[in-house]
Amino acid sequence: MSLALITGSSGLIGSESVNFFCDKGFDVIGIDNNLRKYFFGKDGSTIWIKKNLKKKNKKFNHVNLDIRNYSGLEKLFKKYKNKISVIIHCAAQPSHDYGKKFPFLDFHVNATGTLNLLELTKKYCPLAPFIFMSTNKVYGDRPNKLKIYETKTRWELKINDKNFKGIDENFSIDNSTHSFFGVSKTYADLIVQEYGKNVGLKTVCFRGGCITGPNHSGAKLHGFLSYLVKTSLANKEYNLIGYKGKQVRDNLHSHDLVNCFWEFYKKPRSGEVYNIGGGRFSNCSILEALNLVEKLTNKSIKKRIIKTPRIGDHIWYISNLSKFRMHYPKWKQSYNTKKIVEELVSNFE
């Protein structure tokens, strides 16, 4: 029996992983307790996704469990042991603003929860690849110190800049402001690496840019493109927070991301790190995303500019995908930003 254990299974990436691995013939155990609703209110609830997953996948078994609960997790790991073929860890507290208000909860979910899973993997299924969904926020606001210049619709780097193709894994995480969320995820990122390099587990950190897709329960504090499209179609005002709304994000569809997981699963490495996002193939500024939604829907979106940016927010961030492509040349991107937004608009209309 091939069994995939997926945390945050009702979230965007977790649910995409559930569908993908069920389609591959795996038995899948999903761990999720809908903490998103607690974080973000009813807009963040993932109950609808859980229902869809259970309806679609006969090989899917949902477990209502908090990753901070070590004893609860241990019962699960002890039950299945070496039958567990892969661990995909997507559960997280994902918001800068929420993390600042509730730093203990943020740290315990993101850091302690990850440590719990690593220790149990070491104890019960040490041969199973451990795939961790990290974040580009481990770099803090250091990307803002690049030589960024302003255009009509975005901030950008000159084509001869060494980082023009994107930020790679050698970019420093030091001497920067991270946000509390960034710090808790950085701890998780580093401890995942350590269990690979020091203990020998097959671990990987995917430092994601903006990951999106149709299963995103976009809320005000999390889920950039999903929330933007949902707000726009509801004729509600959208807040452009800082940098004139010209801050650049690279956008990776959850389907393309989970295909990265699959490539790693087939050929795992120990203590590896990859920057992963849309890269130069798929990126936009927030203003450009709004313009695209207006064009696709023929609606004029109400915008309010808030001059003060979020602490640690990136002015410009595009992922350099060269390292992952070099290690896994079979991986292909199938969604650019336009295709992603078209799908979101179609889903919400």
Task: Report the pLDDT value the prediction gives residue 229, as an integer from 0 to 100.
Answer: 82
Classify residue 342 by burial, with Cβ atoms within 10 Å: 0-12, 13-18, 19+. middle
Number of Cα atoms under 13 Å in the Cβ half of residue 264: 29
Domains and CATH numbers, the chain: 3-348 (3.40.50.720)
Task: Report the pLDDT value the prediction gives residue 212, as an integer from 0 to 100.
Answer: 87
Segment 9-52, tens digit of pLDDT: 999 999 999 999 999 999 999 999 998 787 877 877 889 899 99
For 82, which DSSP code? G
Whether 85 and 126 have beta carbons less than 8 Å apart is answered as no
Helix (H) or strand (E) holding 74: helix 70-80
Helix (H) or strand (E) holding 84: strand 84-89
Residues in the chain predicted with pLDDT less than 70, given as ranges, are: 1, 215-224, 348-349
What residue type is assigned to position 263 of the chain? E
Whether 7 and 88 have beta carbons less than 8 Å apart is answered as yes
Cβ of 94: how many Cβ atoms within 10 Å? 27
Classify residue 64 by burial, with Cβ atoms within 10 Å: 0-12, 13-18, 19+. exposed
Segment 184-236, tens digit of pLDDT: 999 999 999 999 999 999 999 999 998 988 765 555 544 567 777 877 778 88
Task: Report the pLDDT value the prediction gives residue 311, as an integer from 0 to 100.
Answer: 76
Q: What distance in Å separates the CA atoms of residue 106 and residue 16, rounded to the nearest whole number?
A: 24
Contacts of residue 326, defined as CB under 8 A and 6 or more positions apart, other chains included, come to none
Task: Report the pLDDT value the prediction gives residue 151, as an integer from 0 to 100.
Answer: 98
Cβ of 325: how many Cβ atoms within 10 Å? 15
